[in-house]
Homo-oligomer: A and B are copies of this chain.
Amino acid sequence: MSQPESLARLVDELQRLPGIGPKGAQRLAFHILRTPRDEANRLCEAILDVKERVTYCSVCHNITDIDPCVFCRDEARDRRLICVVEEPQNVASVEKTRDFRGVYHVLMGALSPLHGIGPDELKIRDLLTRVQAGGVEEIILATNPTVEGEATAMYLARLLKPLGVRVTRIATGVPVGSDLEYADEVTMHKAMEGRREM
């Protein structure tokens, strides 16, 4: 036992975080050790504050400080257009495009029978309720282009179409700025399949 016990415990706690292995945790712990006291305090306050304040929007299930969230509160956003994403962090990805002016619906995951995640574990019922309340014209399915995301999109499309809304899916293909040399065969296949007239 060459390390002080409190340091060993911090390394242990840091290792629970995603993407942080034994070496990374060690490095972070030593950094925290060297860091000024009030910087460590600020980090802890920020952690506890997030746990304290952040809740989920009662309309779209996005994370928010105030319920309903900024998007659901914003009168300027187009409520006829709902973009469905898997996780709260995916909202930021769509917002980055700066030209989506509709609202969101966060599923809180994707269908994954292997992990015991069925339709009841996701916020699907709430989405149907929103559509049934009327006024929605198009649902953009922006779940991830993974097996689970595609399955979720297909499942939702089957549920939503009978309700008389337009259901669309974001495009899959080769990412902008990439090299075809590095595109995997499935992506390449999707890119060919989804080709458009120039």
Contacts and interface: CB of A to CB of B under 8 A. Distances in A.
Nearest to A18: B31
A128 interface: no
Contacts of A89: 26-27, 30
Secondary structure dominating the interface of A:
helix
Nearest to A26: B89
Contacts of A4: 53-54, 63-65
A144 to B, nearest CB: 15
Interface string A45-75: 0111111111000000001110000110000
A47 B40 contact: yes
B70 A6 contact: no
Contacts of A29: 50
A182 B98 CA distance: 45
A33 interface: yes
A28 B24 CA distance: 13
Contacts of A64: 4
30 contacts: A1-B70, A2-B71, A2-B91, A2-B92, A2-B95, A3-B92, A4-B53, A4-B54, A4-B63, A4-B64, A6-B46, A6-B52, A6-B53, A6-B65, A7-B63, A9-B49, A10-B50, A14-B46, A18-B31, A19-B24, A19-B27, A19-B28, A26-B89, A30-B88, A32-B50, A37-B51, A40-B51, A44-B44, A44-B47, A44-B48
Given A5-B65, A6-B50, A17-B28, 19 more contacts: A2-B91, A2-B95, A4-B54, A4-B63, A4-B64, A10-B46, A10-B47, A10-B49, A13-B43, A14-B43, A26-B89, A30-B88, A32-B51, A33-B54, A33-B63, A37-B51, A40-B48, A43-B47, A44-B48
Interface of A: 1-7, 9-10, 12-14, 16-19, 24, 26-33, 37, 39-44, 46-54, 63-65, 70-71, 87-89, 91-92, 95
